[in-house]
Amino acid sequence: MNEYSHLISRLISEGHLKTEKIISAFYSVPRIDFLLKEGKPYAYVDEPIPIGFDQTMSAPHMVAIMIELLDLKEGDNVLEIGTGSGWNAAIMSKLVSDSGKIHTVEIVDGLYDLSKKYLKEYKNVDIVKGDGSIGLKEYAPYDKIIVTCAAPKIPEELSSQLKENGLIVIPIGTVLMQELIVGTKRGNAIEKTNYGVCRFVSMKGKSGFK
């Protein structure tokens, strides 16, 4: 068993990876391919890893938890806020298949350039440079929205771009600590379920932390 298979087996045994199609997607998208040279020795450690520009790639267990909660289907139209280096988007692209689309927004110039390089073979991933805290209304409404940075609350712009009964997975709280929230859109409201404490880098932009 190679190191990546060992990591995935650990995520399964700990209950973070549960769904067969998600496990397969993880196997098909090695984490090491989305890390800078200095981060590659730590690719198989279940911890966040710096990807430059004062940003990090989330720990594998957190990526697994969030993608499991997002409940992606083939054909889903998905919005991701915070592309990072692109690992999360690459995994999701496998789950929505060619009939689906991942629109991922990155505000940091250097990470936008990096993710364009790493995701060039993923034809159903659209990478946009911009302020993800206000969403991406030109491709709305979305079946699912995933936010990979901490926000003080669910931005109204994201709520308005979500389909009825659509899901948003987002860390909500303070700069130092957040709670992982899954929201389901019901009319003009978002029904929230709390999935525990987490810690993410802060959201930038209009609806981020001031």
Q: What is the pLDDT of residues 24-77, one digit of tens each?
A: 999 999 999 999 999 999 999 999 999 999 899 999 999 999 999 999 999 999
Residue 119 maps to a domain: yes
Domain of residue 51 covers 3-198
Residue 207 maps to a domain: no
pLDDT value, residue 46 = 97
Residue 206 maps to a domain: no
Helix/strand/coil for 73: coil
Residue 210 maps to a domain: no
Residue 16 maps to a domain: yes
pLDDT exceeds cutoff 60 at 155:
yes
- Over the Cα atoms of the chain, what is R_g? 16
Angle (nearest 5°) at CA 106 between 104 and 111: 120
Place of tokens 């303070």: 174
**pLDDT bracket for residue 83 (50, 70, 90):** very high
Q: Do 113 and 80 contact (CB within 8 A), yes or no?
A: no
pLDDT over 70, % of the chain: 100
pLDDT value, residue 210 = 79
What CATH number should be reported for the domain holding residue 170? 3.40.50.150
Average pLDDT score over residue span 70-90:
98
Residue 78 maps to a domain: yes
Residue 204 maps to a domain: no
pLDDT over 90, % of the chain: 97
* pTM score of the predicted model: 0.96
Average pLDDT score over residue span 121-136:
97
CA distance 188 to 210: 26
Residue 53 maps to a domain: yes
Query: How many folded domains does the chain comprise?
Result: 1
pLDDT exceeds cutoff 70 at 1:
no
Residues with catalytic roles: 58
Average pLDDT score over residue span 120-139:
97
Helix/strand/coil for 159: helix
